[in-house]
Amino acid sequence: MMSIQLEKVVQTFYEGLEEGKILGRKCPLCGNVEFPPVYACNQCGNYETQWYEISGKAKLHSIVLPAALSSKPEYKNLGKYAYGEVELEEGSRLNAVVRGISKKNRKELSAKLPLNCHASIFQREGGYKTVVFDLDQEQ
């Protein structure tokens, strides 16, 4: 029997990244995976979810390239990247950074959407890690 817990979900998520784990939360009733992790299930409304390490496999459904308004000097460390709708293998969808996309290959890649990609752990300025995605070599 589970119960609603006052729990440090955010800190656990970021500590997981330090250990190389990308954690979401899975609903024990309907199986929906919440990513990034939160308390409740937004699919069926169940109060509780449980920690679940995501596989990292994902698909990219859209491509928006960064520009003057939509980039920051600190994003330079990402190399070539785009923003887009990412669907995790577990079904969750989120807006995310996907590396390996540039002005040069954008047209070719856009014609092939959705594209296979995978989650990576990325060191942010400010002393914490976050999650970005990289295009798979094989599409």
Residues in the chain: 139
Burial of 121 (0-12, 13-18, 19+ CB in 10 A): middle
d(CA 96, CA 83): 6
27 vs 131, which CB is nearer to other proteins? 131
Q: How many residues bind other proteins (CB under 8 A)?
A: 30
d(CA 105, CA 93): 24
112 vs 138, which CB is nearer to other proteins? 112
> Among 21-29, 47-55, 93-101, which window interacts with other proteins (CB under 8 A)?
93-101
Taking the complex as a whole, how short is the minimal distance between the CB of residue 71 and other proteins, in angstroms?
A: 7
Q: Show contacts of 5-10: CB within 8 Å, 24+ apart.
A: 5/48, 7/39, 9/37, 9/38, 9/39
Does residue number 6 form part of the binding site for other proteins (CB under 8 A)? no
**Footprint of other proteins on residues 37-76 (CB under 8 A)?**
61-71, 75
> Among 25-33, 43-51, 128-136, which window interacts with other proteins (CB under 8 A)?
128-136
Taking the complex as a whole, how short is the minimal distance between the CB of residue 96 and other proteins, in angstroms?
A: 5
Sheet holding 50-53, edge to edge: 33-34, 23-26, 50-53
The binding site for other proteins (CB under 8 A) comprises 10, 13, 36, 61-71, 75, 83-85, 93-97, 110, 113, 124, 128, 130-132
